[in-house]
Amino acid sequence: MTVPDGLKRVVLIGFSATGKSVLAPFIAHQLGWTSIDLDVEIERTAGRTIAQIFESEGESGFRAREQQAVRDAAARHGVVVATGGGVWLNADNRSLLADGGFVVTLEARSASILARYAETEQGATEVRPMLAGADPRRRVETLKAARQPFYALSDLTVHTDEIEISEAVDEIVSAVQRRAAAALCSDARLQEMRNGPGIDPPAMADFGPDVGCVVEAGSARYPVYCSWGLLEHCSDILDRLGLRGRVFLIADQAIIESHGSTALQSLQAGGRLVMPYAVPSGEASKSLSSLEALYGWLSSHRAERRDIIFALGGGVTTDLAGTVAATYLRGMPLVHAPTTVLGMVDAAIGGKVAIDLPSGKNLVGAFYQPRAVLADAATLATLPPRELRSGFAEVIKHGFIRDEQMLELLDESAESLLDPAAGAHDQDRRQLLVDVITRNQAIKAAVVSADERESDIRAILNYGHTLGHAIESVTGYSAVLHGEAVAMGMIAVAEMGCSLGLIDEALVARHRRLIERFGLPTNGPPGLDRADIVEAMSRDKKVVGGKQRWVLLESVGNPVVRDDVPADIVSEAIEAVIGAA
């Protein structure tokens, strides 16, 4: 096939999943050329996947590799180049590719892109870095809108939603033959491509390595980190996020003694002034008196709005320090460094902060998003076994409401996950723990990104919590740990779902088996009174119009919120948990 004089390459640009990698080899075959997929070349030269590059080098590291791949591709003639979705945003990349190249934008509707994601990533363990932790549809639409003016600089646009591969190839090859020569002769075209569309490209938020996911809440966008030994790098992360003030380190008393020095040394090595404050361990610290004491401490040091509240500890510290950050001076920058499974996969993500009152749990608080979440999996190695097991109740909950494959992984790997200390000497165990934590962080991030203030979908995160909170309340927030109470609550709602005909007895048994696998209780402690439980549930925040709202399952991964569960079924479910105690 005759190729116009001066044409060195055909360049395919456009959003991810529009068909660039698929079409490039077919177009090259028609032209008698070869094809290059820049992402494949990057992975080949790096010896790692794109997701792994993002994890270890951050977006800036990936973009540097991408620019080198563009330079290498531009040095070759007779090639069809399939680019990554962000390549064309860079002016140097555009100049190199467009000089001697015919540029084709592949376009597709958001629904088509999402459907292709679902098909190609089914069963995959890695999340596309561009979409990590975000509501997929909103993220696709936001990024496409920002990039569209840059894609519009191309020589041709082809819509790939419903077109056959052969039709798309014929359309592109025909346009190359008819239009490429004229395009290459236009100095104005090349100048326009070099200058861009007159607007800045979408800002690159390079959060650096070890980002497990990103929360895309309406009020904030922030990274959630997870790795082994992360506290050693916390000062570097604060620098990357542009947080420059003094650090008010609020930490659980037990954590100050075991891991506080690591965080303190990192922060001080970064030239930061750090003021530590130890909070007594236990739910009792989530109180008005603790809040008042922290206000007095901050005031005595003349804390300013640019200073940072750094919360180091479990769910109690996360809630208490978060409430302080949300309210002192009407808001200070907040960074969570959770040291429990509960904190890492649940409490630190999503911006819910609160303290307890004698009449109920988490009744005074706010929605206040952190600037980042730093989960150092190494801190789990010193967690008391009961606390460790308790946190995995939230992981099990995530599996039932969102991720059946993870339930199978938990069943297979319970012993390894419950022995994090082995990770200090076993890379595989260490990676398994980090992977499970990250996977759960992404589930929580995706839900809160779609519903920041618990008006809709976020309610599903309360699976097992209604009865669980009531059990905590009537036992004084001390005899039963949060995860233990949630485990019992999940048994109760599974029994309710079975009684309502939503799920079968096999799924109820699966709840019991997995909860017991992690050493969590399926029955309440002796002495629980059903009337006290019912009274405590009536004060729950999720009661609407006097009706108790229950999160139930229709199947694994398909939760539903119901406010019409008959009282006798509720009573039977409660008895199934506390009656056998």
Q: Which positions are annotated as active-site residues?
A: 330, 352, 394, 444, 454, 458, 462, 465, 469, 482
Q: 């990698």: which residue's tokens?
A: 21
- φ/ψ (deg, to 5) at 308: -120, 130
Identify the helix (H) or strand (E) that includes residue 157: strand 156-159
Please provide the DSSP assignment of 405-417 as one string: HHHHHHHHHHHHH
- φ/ψ (deg, to 5) at 224: -120, 115
Q: Do residues 150 and 89 make contact, with C-beta atoms less than 8 angstroms apart? A: yes
Dist CA 384 CA 375 (whole Å) = 17
- CB under 8 Å to 108, separation ≥6 — which residues? 14, 15, 17, 18, 19, 116, 159, 160, 161
Dist CA 396 CA 440 (whole Å) = 10
**Cα three-residue angle 39-177-32, rounded to 5 degrees:** 55
Identify the helix (H) or strand (E) that includes residue 363: strand 360-367
Q: What is the DSSP letter of 540?
A: -
- Nearest Cα to Cα of residue 106 among 219, 194, 18, 5: 18
- Dihedral of alpha carbons 235, 377, 436, 400, sign: negative
**R_g (Cα) of the chain, nearest Å:** 27
Two structure tokens written together for 311: 């919360």
C-alpha dist (Å) from residue 340 to 83, 228, 379, 447, 519? 41, 13, 7, 21, 16
Instruction: Output the 3-class SS for 51-113.
Output: HHHHHHHHHHHHHHHHHHHHHHHHCCCCEEEECCCCHHHCHHHHHHHHCCEEEEEEECCHHHH
Dist CA 223 CA 208 (whole Å) = 9
Identify the helix (H) or strand (E) that includes residue 292: helix 288-300
- Nearest Cα to Cα of residue 553 among 423, 354, 401, 392: 401
